[in-house]
Amino acid sequence: MTFPASQIALIVNGKIEGDAAVAVTSFGKIEEAQTGQLSFLANPKYEEYLYTTKASIIIINNGFELKQPVKATLIRVADAYTAFALLLAKYQEIMEQQLSGIQQPSYIAKTALYGQNIFIGAFSYVGENVKIGNNSKIFPNSYIGDDVSIGDSCIIHPGVKIYRHCRLGNHVTIHAGTVIGSDGFGFAPQADGSFKKVPQIGNVVIEDNVEIGANTTIDRATIGSTLIRSGVKLDNLIQIAHNVEIGKSTVIAAQTGVSGSTKIGNGVMIGGQVGIVGHIQIGDGAKINAQSGVSKSLGPGKAVTGSPAYDYTAALRSQALSRKLPDLEKRIKELEALVKQLISEKV
């Protein structure tokens, strides 16, 4: 597909500097892009490539001042990174719209209902009473259990497993290998030292505009729902336990684990490899640094780091002081020597 600068500028609400008729067919990094590709400059560290790149079109910020002539056609926008992301999304949407129909072999229960312009890839299983909305795409080797509901314009990538009774809103993307609705980790200790499984009869509810990375697992609730609110973005390899609630527009990086019944607020940012214990609350807007261990509730806007996690600013002060310890030790030894000298002179 070919996209002229004039069309791209309309999509990103940008202003063209150069040839509005020049066209591109693909994307490229500014340091590697070739003729016929579109790139962007958002990070000043890459400015040098702006003057040497072979890209045909480059998106840059409105306030960026050129230090020398540029061969490429420029499209100026308020935020180059956001505009480039928008173009990538549009391109992906166009490509996915070309997928439609039901590939064989696949199994679709007679009681399943699906809307217009859907795609179901080969070797997929769609169970009883499943509902799939318009324009949704289910890629090969996916499993959609009984009574699952999937909204409009969802993308279920290869090998995803969605267990019975789970609910997905609109514009939900789930990447390959993810499991939605597996049993929560519930076992009751017995007098003889064994553990008796507690049945997990709830489900998982995922609201609109959520994206879940590859090989992430979200457990069904023991009773009720494990709840992922609208706009949440989860990275790869994350474990969300039973009855967890994650608030709107929260983002969580890879290898994080959230234990059962913890409630995470809106707009929370959680780094990679964070561990969060169960039955606590994380307030709106909190920030948890990578590899932190959170063992108690956090208030709104709180920023923490470390294991056990504590105040981020205090942690930085502690780190600064710890770096000064060798000098402090030297000064203490010098003072001790001076004190001994003064005492010996008095004697």
Question: What residues are annotated to the active site?
Answer: 242
Give dist(CA 115, CA 89) in Å, integer: 23
Beta bridge partners of 173: 155, 211
The closest of 135, 124, 131 to 173, measured between CA atoms, is 135
187/154 Cα distance (integer angstroms): 34
Only one residue has tokens 């997928």, namely 99
Structure tokens at 106: 């696949």
Distance CA 166, CA 179 (A): 11
DSSP states of 227-295: EE-TT-EE-SS-EE-TT-EE-TT-EE-TT-EE-TT-EE-TT-EE-TT-EE-SS-EE-TT-EE-TT-EE-
- DSSP class per residue in 187-234: EEE-TTS-EEEPP---EEEE-TT-EE-TT-EEEPPSSSEEEE-TT-EE
Other C-beta atoms within 10 Å of 130: how many?
22
Q: Taking CA 335 as the corner, what is the angle to CA 331 and CA 336, rounded to the nearest 5 degrees?
A: 115
Residue with tokens 């929370």: 268
Strand 101-102's sheet: what is its strand order? Answer: 101-102, 119-120, 137-138, 155-156, 173-174, 211-212, 233-234, 251-252, 269-270, 287-288, 303-305, 310-311
Q: Which helix (H) or strand (E) holds 19?
A: none
Report angle CA 176, 180, 185 to the nearest 5 degrees: 125
